[in-house]
Amino acid sequence: MKYPHGIQSKLQQRKEKKSLRSLSVNAEGIDFYSNDYLGLAKSKTIYTEAIQLLKKKNLEVNSATGSRLISGNTHFHEEVEAQIAKFHQAETALLFNSGYDANVGFFSSVPQRGDVVFYDELIHASIRDGLQMSLAKTYKFKHNNLNELKRKVDKLTTSGDIFIVTESVFSMDGDTPDLEKLVNYCSRRNVFLIVDEAHALGVFGSRGEGVIQQQNLQDKVFARIMTFGKGLGAHGAAVIGNAQLKEFLINFARSFMYTTAISPHAVATISSAYQVLESSSAKEKLQQNIHYFQQQVEEFQLTSRFIKSKSSIQSCLIPGNEEVKNIAEALQQQEFMVKPILSPTVPEGEERLRFCLHSYNSKEEIFSVLQCLKSELK
C-alpha cells in the first residue's frame, strides 16, 4: 500500500534523531515515572466508595449517553462540580473529559478576536493547541521571566482584553513561577490570569488544594484548570472560575459541547478521591520524600544536573536523545522505572530523565536510584 510522502518523511526524521516514539506495556519495577503522586490511582477505598456512590445515586450505567447539552447531564455531575468549587474556594467548576479537553476548550474559545494572550514558553502542549485555534493574538515570554513579560505587556497597544497563562508547577521542569508577584501585576494592569494546576493538585496546600490556594491567591485569578489524572488519581478535569465563565464555556467551548459527557463512573471516582484527599496523610509523606530526594542529590554531588524544583517532578539534564535513552535503559534494567524525555518534547540539548516522586517511594528506593544514576553518569 502506498503511503503519503509527508508521513514517511516525518517518521524518517524522527528515526534519524533517535526520537521516534512507540508504545510499550508497563514493566514491573519501582515507580519513578507515573503521575500518581499520592498513590490514589491504586486506592481500594476510592474504588469501593465510587461504586457505592453510583449505586446510591442509581447511576449503574456505562456511559453518560451523550453530551451534557443533550442527554449526558445529571444532577450528579452538577453536585460534584459544586463539591469541586467549594473545595477550591471558587464560585463554579465545569467538568471536562480530560485536562487536554479543558485546555483546548478554554483557550480556543475564551480569548476573542482583538484580544492578546501571553504564555510562558514552556506551557503545556494542550494550551498551545487551544491557542492555535483561538482568534486572539498570542505571544510567548521567557520561562518564569516576569520582567520580560512586563516589558511585553507594558509596550502593547490594544483595545482588547489581555490574558496571561502559566502553570503553578511545570510538567517538565517541575518548577513554579513567582505567582504572588504575577498576580499583583495582573491586578494592577487589569490583566486576566489563567493558571494550570495539573501537577499541583494533591501536592501543595494543607489539603492538597494546589499552589494558588496555598498562597491564598484564589480570589485574584480569573481561571484555574484542575486536572484529575495526576495527584488525584482519577480521570477528567475542571475549569474553575465564576458563574459567567462557566456559562460561556457551556455555550462556546467546543470540546465540552460536542463530545459525550464524562461518565458517571469517572465523576464518582473524582468525588471519592476529593473526599480521601482531604484526610490523607500521603501529602506529608510525599513532601518528606521530595526533601529526602533533594538531600541525596546534594550528597551524590548531582545538584548541577538537576533543575531546581520543590515539586514531585525532579528532572536531571542529560543532553542528547541517545545518551539519555541509554542511561534510562540502564536504570530500567535495575528495575527503576524512569523515563527519558527527548527532544522535540523538550528543546534540543535539554533532554532529561524525569523522576516523578510519590508518597509510596521508600527512602531506600530513592537512595538506590540516585546511586545507580551517579554510577551511569560520566
Q: Which of 258, 279, 300 is the last residue of a domain?
A: 279
Q: Indicate whether 83 pLDDT > 80.
A: yes
Portion of the chain with pLDDT greater than 90, in percent: 93
Whether 273 and 288 map to the same domain: the answer is no
d(CA 256, CA 263): 13
**pLDDT per position as a tens digit, 89-112:** 999 999 999 999 999 999 999 999
Beta 223-227 vs 339-341: how paired, if at all?
unpaired
Whether 363 and 295 map to the same domain: the answer is yes
Output the pTM of the full model.
0.94
Whether 340 and 370 map to the same domain: the answer is yes
What CATH number is given to the structural domain containing 71? 3.40.640.10
pLDDT interval class at 229 (50, 70, 90):
very high
What CATH number is given to the structural domain containing 287? 3.90.1150.10
**pLDDT per position as a tens digit, 11-53:** 999 998 888 888 888 778 999 999 999 999 999 999 999 999 9
230, 142, 340, 365 alpha-carbon torsion, rounded to 10°: -60
Q: Which of 279, 314, 348 is the last residue of a domain?
A: 279
Q: What is the structure's pLDDT at 20?
A: 87
Q: Is 338 a member of any domain?
A: yes
Whether 340 and 191 map to the same domain: the answer is no
Whether 88 and 220 map to the same domain: the answer is yes
Q: Indicate whether 333 pLDDT > 90.
A: yes
Whether 309 and 182 map to the same domain: the answer is no
- Helices marked H in the chain: 5-16, 44-56, 75-87, 99-109, 125-132, 146-154, 179-189, 211-214, 243-252, 254-257, 264-279, 282-299, 321-333, 363-376
Domain range spanning residue 237?
44-279
Q: Is 32 a member of any domain?
A: no
Q: What is the mean pLDDT of the chain?
A: 96
Q: Is 9 a member of any domain?
A: no
Range with the poorest average pLDDT among 69-78, 154-163, 169-178, 191-200? 154-163
Q: Is 289 a member of any domain?
A: yes
Domain count, the chain: 2
pLDDT interval class at 258 (50, 70, 90):
very high
pLDDT interval class at 5 (50, 70, 90):
confident
Q: Average pLDDT for residues 200-211, to the nearest whole number?
A: 97
Q: Average pLDDT for residues 237-258, to the nearest whole number?
A: 98
Nearest residue to 45 via CA among 283, 275, 203, 206: 275
Q: Is 26 a member of any domain?
A: no
Whether 273 and 290 map to the same domain: the answer is no
Q: Is 20 a member of any domain?
A: no
Q: Is 12 a member of any domain?
A: no
Cβ distance 298 to 111 under 8 Å?
no
Q: What is the structure's pLDDT at 267?
A: 98
d(CA 224, CA 198): 9
Q: Indicate whether 360 pLDDT > 90.
A: yes
Can you tell me which residue has the cell 521508600?
Answer: 362
Q: Which amino acid is at 348?
A: E
